[in-house]
Structure 1
Amino acid sequence: MQLRRHLLIRWTVRALLAALVVTGCAPQPVTGPPRAAAFNATDTAWIQLMIPMNERARLLTGLAPSHTTDPALADLAARTGTRLEEELTRLRGLLDLSGVPDTRPHEGHDMPGMVALGTLGRAEKATGREFERILTDGLRAHLAQSGTLCASERTSGGAKEAKDLAAAIERSAARELDRLGTTARS
């Protein structure tokens, strides 16, 4: 269903562009490099790593409502999950803008800051304090590594859009680390 919808949209866009060319209403070429050229290897590597990192962290936060007994931690997980979804939307948009195909080079990897598949498996079976420890440890590692990766993107990235998103994610990660520290102590 998704593929059919994607193909229909692609065909519609191509037909619209062809009609614009035939009628003489095609957009004029933009002077300078296309937006995709502004993305360097750091930008695309950062985007391709942040997407699976956020997806895994989102899976972990999604377990909180049925696995934790701590209302403050459940609330933190819900807010973090919402933020992760928003970031994923923006990251996927940047990947499209970069012109790099979504090849998922980090699929199945367990990297620093990425919630490991084994951790997700343990979290699915855990409740109460055990789950809360898994959640806080996983989020703490994710947020710290996200901040580090975003700082590197801001320093070495080329595309303004990617560097701006990295700065926003870095600020959010720092705030959520503070909240996590406060929540875990209460």
Structure 2
Amino acid sequence: MRALNHHRITRKLALSGAVAAAGLLLAACGGSGDSDGTAHGGRASATASASSGASAGTFNDADVMFAQMMIPHHEQALSMAKLADGRAEDAEIKQIVAAVEKAQDPEIRKMKSWLKAWGKPEATAGGHGGHAMAGMLSDADMTDLAAAKGREFDRKFAELMIAHHEGAVEMAKTEQKDGKDPEAKKVADDVVRTQAAEIAQLRKVLDRL
């Protein structure tokens, strides 16, 4: 009888142990599943968030358009500045030419790097959706500027660069208002500040030429 009771107790303990073990196993599996799911999901979410932050979260369409339009705008300003070599006569015009080259070449490289990071082309296949780049010179304007020398060049350069800078300031103000990317907005701030000052200087140069 004692042996029978001992056998029953042993079976009961074994059964309880098996149930407990199964419970622990289920809890472990469930916990592991939940933990992994959360962790993997968390990591995936974090990765997606980081990715979107780098490619979609920090910029908008206004930032893209600002860069796509300002690059060729700046490139034309540099072309104008290059024409001053051997043609410009006025010391202040030469000073402004140097300032344009110093500021706009690094800005072009910076804006190209943004578009690359954002996965956007430097120019859209269909142009800029009807958005004209204010202040851009025509081929005829560039030809006339290249044909001028001395005082005549200085006057033409001042007149054309005023209009060109006004266009850049207009685009930069749109970026200040509609843009999202902090670095793009900072460049827009710089464009407004520096080019507005150069416009004022160029107008004074025109008054005395």
Fold-level match, TM-score > 0.5? yes
1:135-185 Cα offsets, whole Å, 9 max, x none, are 111210111111111111111112122111111111111121122223333
Identify which of 87, 111, 114 aligns with 1:91. 111
1:67 Cα deviation from its structure 2 partner: 0.8
Q: Which moved more, 1:48-57 or 1:92-101?
A: 92-101
TM-score, length-scaled by structure 2:
0.67
Identity of aligned residues (%): 25
- Whichever residue aligns with residue 148 of structure 2, its letter is A
Identify which of 30, 42, 55 aligns with 2:62. 42
Identify which of 151, 163, 175 aligns with 1:153. 175
Structure 1 unpaired stretches of 5+? 1-27
Question: For the residues of structure 2 that align with 1:110 and 1:130, how far apart are their CA atoms?
Answer: 29
1:98 Cα deviation from its structure 2 partner: 2.0
What is the count of residue pairs matched by the alignment? 158
- Tell me how large the CA RMSD over aligned residues is: 2.3
**1:57-96 correspondence runs (5 A):** 57-96=77-116
Identify which of 166, 172, 182 aligns with 2:194. 172
Matched, 1:137 2:159: yes
TM-score, length-scaled by structure 1:
0.75
Identify which of 180, 184, 187 aligns with 1:162. 184
1:5-52 Cα offsets, whole Å, 9 max, x none, are xxxxxxxxxxxxxxxxxxxxxxx9374423220221111111111011
Q: Which moved more, 1:139-148 or 1:95-104?
A: 95-104
Structure 2 unpaired stretches of 5+? 1-45
Q: Which moved more, 1:52-61 or 1:37-46?
A: 37-46
User: In the superposition, relative to structure 1, how do residues 163 and 110 fare at CA in structure 2: closer, same or farther (>3 Å)?
Assistant: closer
Choose 1 or 2 for highest CA Rg: 2
Runs (4+) of structure 1 exceeding 3 A deviation are 28-32, 103-107
Please say if residues 175 and 185 of structure 2, whose CA atoms lie closer than 8 Å, have aligned partners that are also in contact. yes
Question: For the residues of structure 2 that align with 1:110 and 1:137, how far apart are their CA atoms?
Answer: 20
Counterpart position of 2:19: none
1:120-144 Cα offsets, whole Å, 9 max, x none, are 1111111123212221112101111
1:110 Cα deviation from its structure 2 partner: 7.7
